Amino acid sequence: MKKLSFFVLLSILLIPIVAFSDAKDTLNKSIAHIVSVQDESGAWSRLKGEFPFEAEPTSWAVKVLAMNKVAPDRVEKGVNFILKDQKPDGSWNNNTAHTAFAILALKQANKGNETINKGADYLKTVQDINGGFKRIGKEGAPLTIYTAVVLCALKEAGYKQNDPVVKRAMDWLISCQNADGGYGMPKGAPSLSLSTAWTIKALLAFGIEPSTPSVQNAVAYLLRTQKSSGGFSPVPPAPEDPEVTAYAIMALSGLTDKKDIIQKAFDYLANVQQADGAYISNAPVQFNKTPKKNTQTTAFVAWALSEAK
């Protein structure tokens, strides 16, 4: 009986080690793929051969490589591309997400403080009167996912919760929560897991307690989109998707009681990873709902695995 108890205990202790090893292997394969598709210019594309090399996917790749302290020469080339691509107004392409991701990448690489400050100044100038952020400068409606990504960037840039820009954005974001706990893209739109996940991440980043109803209800909605495979879907009835799963992991990794749920998501990502380390997804809107193996999804999976490891 004592021998049996010993082996049961040993197996319990080994499960986290094996799980971590599997996640690390999945991450390493993703990183290897990301490195393999960098252009000589130092930039990355959403999908090499089909889309241009530009700052946004370059920022995702640089962020991931810098997080893991690998391929410093590749990081340096990517950083140089990002720095050169900043526009005179401080933005990247007058796009709030492009600008926010560039800030996140540069902060992770510990490069370009002046460039980061210019980017943050641009974001402040395009904030909507109600507090949200739009996709292109001051054009269109404020969107929750863009507001959440901007908040994550401002946090990394050193902004505090009591900063007026942050407070307005947080207040607007919380006001967008739907009755089901989730968040749509524009205020009042049906809930989506990706906008809900980024909102959770932003709220936690600025110190909103997990016990608050705004976070609890958002997490409850997000968990309803997890499938038996461990993957997360864009909305509860839809099939799971690796990029959406990555966003969910990024949100839930800030919560200490969701490790089992995250482990199931790890298992799903390991199971659907392609032989070359990449991922197939139809999440990128540029693909017109045609699932493709791509760098965008692979970078976000690697980002999520890096944050949760």
What residue spans of 110-160 are helical by DSSP H? Answer: 113-125, 144-156
* Token digits of residue 175: 């006001």
Q: Is 184 part of a structural domain of the chain?
A: yes
- For 238-262, what is the mean pLDDT? 96
287-309 core/surface letters (b: 16 or more CB in 10 A; e: else)? beeeebebbbbbbbbbbbbbebe
How far the first Cα of the chain sits from its last, in Å, is 35
With cut-offs at 50, 70 and 90, classify the pLDDT of residue 174. Answer: very high
Q: Is 173 part of a structural domain of the chain?
A: yes
With cut-offs at 50, 70 and 90, classify the pLDDT of residue 205. Answer: very high
* Token digits of residue 54: 């530009």
Count of CB atoms within 10 A of residue 183's CB?
32
Q: How many Å apart are CA 159 and CA 164, to the nearest integer? A: 10
Q: Is 2 part of a structural domain of the chain?
A: no
Q: Is 57 part of a structural domain of the chain?
A: yes
> Crossing angle, helix 144-156 and helix 96-109, to 10 degrees?
30
What is the maximal distance between C-alpha atoms in the chain? 73
- The pTM of this model reads 0.92
Q: Which domain holds residue 183?
A: 22-36+52-308
Query: Tens of pLDDT along 87-102?
Result: 999 999 999 999 999 9
Q: How many Å apart are CA 102 and CA 23, to the nearest integer? A: 26
Q: What pLDDT shows up at residue 10?
A: 38
Q: Domains in the chain: how many in total? A: 1
* Token digits of residue 210: 């997990």
With cut-offs at 50, 70 and 90, classify the pLDDT of residue 13. Answer: very low
Q: Is 41 part of a structural domain of the chain?
A: no
What sign does the CA torsion over 55, 57, 59, 65 have?
Answer: negative
User: H-helix or E-strand containing 114?
Assistant: helix 113-125
Q: Is 191 part of a structural domain of the chain?
A: yes
Q: Is 44 part of a structural domain of the chain?
A: no
Query: Tens of pLDDT along 25-45?
Result: 999 999 999 999 999 999 999
Q: Is 42 part of a structural domain of the chain?
A: no
Amino acid at site 304: A
- For 121-128, what is the mean pLDDT? 98
Count of CB atoms within 10 A of residue 1's CB?
5
Query: Tens of pLDDT along 155-170?
Result: 999 999 999 999 999 9
Q: How many Å apart are CA 66 and CA 161, to the nearest integer? A: 26
CATH number, residue 300: 1.50.10.20
> Is the model's pLDDT at 299 over the cut of 70?
yes
